[in-house]
Amino acid sequence: QLQLQESGPGLVKPSETLSLTCTVSGGSISNYPYAWDWVRQPPGKGLEWIGSFYYTGTTYSNPSLKSRLTISMDSSKNTFSLNLSSVTAADTALYFCAKHDTRGSSYVVLDLWGQGTLVTVSS
Amino acid sequence: QSVLTQPPSVSGAPGQRVTISCSGTSSDIGAGYDVHWYQQFPGTAPKLLIFGTYKRPSGVPNRFSGSKSGASASLVITGLQAEDEADYYCQSYDNDLSALFGGGTKLTV
């Protein structure tokens, strides 16, 4: 049974790059027709979809973050990663990794989530 | 990219029925995309509650049901239980190839 676990620095300075990794356990990340997602939640606020990395290598991003965002996958490490550049305090949030099955008729059904990791942007 | 519109809060007594609405536009829900619902307890990750507008994942009680009409969707919870007290989020997709969430609704039982 697949499980997801986020990891990365809990504190990032303004203007720097936020880098997080999601480790997939219980199966090989490249064995499934899945897409691997990032979602964030500012403290006390709602959920915001960040983007997806599809098993085909295609990525889709939230238009509001696209210019600062890179999502990638490392099959050898069974991980996928998020890089968000030029961060500000507005990027402070609980960051979740998740996945969705690319088969089926519905788009982006996030059926498995990591527990989340809090990233604070502050000097 | 717009956020789907949900009421900030709803409440109901144990055993009652509550409805949480989710309003979109002609570019997302109204364009025919399915709606999904998630349940989130404080300090935990969201859990998929309803997908494909009305389908329940295995293990989700049939007290939870979803529907859609035009550019809006609804989550209905019948036979409210204290354990249902949580935040609920709707989610859909839009013509910009983006997933988008509602602002969330806090349910108080």
Q: What residues have CB less than 8 Å from A51, skipping those under 6 apart? A: A37, A38, A59, A60, A61, A62, A65, A66, A69, A71, A82
Closest chain B residue to A66, measured at CA: B98
**B24 conformational bin, left if phi > 0, alpha if psi -120 to 50, beta if neither:** beta
CA distance A112 to chain B (A): 8
Reported confidence tier of residue B10, pLDDT bands at 50, 70, 90: very high
Closest chain B residue to A40, measured at CA: B45
Q: Which of B1, B34, B102 sits opposite A106 (nearest CB)?
A: B34
User: Which residues from A are below 8 Å from B52, CB to CB?
Assistant: 104-106, 109
Residues 37-66 of A with CB under 8 A from B: 37, 39, 45-49, 52, 60-64
Contact (CB<8Å) B48/A106: no
pLDDT score of A85 = 98
pLDDT score of B15 = 98
- pLDDT for residue B2 is more than 70: no
pLDDT score of B1 = 54
Cβ contact A75:B13 at 8 Å: no
Distance CA A35, CA B19 (A): 31
Q: Which of B36, B45, B101 sits opposite A48 (nearest CB)?
A: B101
pLDDT by residue for chain A (123 residues), tens only, comes to: 999 999 999 999 999 999 999 999 999 998 889 999 999 999 999 999 999 999 999 999 999 999 999 999 999 999 999 999 999 999 999 999 999 998 878 899 999 999 999 999 999
pLDDT score of A106 = 84
Distance CA A26, CA B108 (A): 36
Q: How many CB pairs under 8 A join A and B?
A: 69
A108 touching chain B per CB within 8 A: yes
Tokens 């859990």 belong to B47
DSSP-assigned states of every residue in A61-104:
E-TTTGGGEEEEEETTTTEEEEEE-S--GGG-EEEEEEEEESSS
Distance CA A6, CA A106 (A): 26
pLDDT score of B11 = 98
> Span B2-24, mean pLDDT?
95
User: Which residues from A are below 8 Å from B47, CB to CB?
Assistant: 113
Q: What is the mean pLDDT of chain B?
A: 96
Report the residue count for chain A. Answer: 123
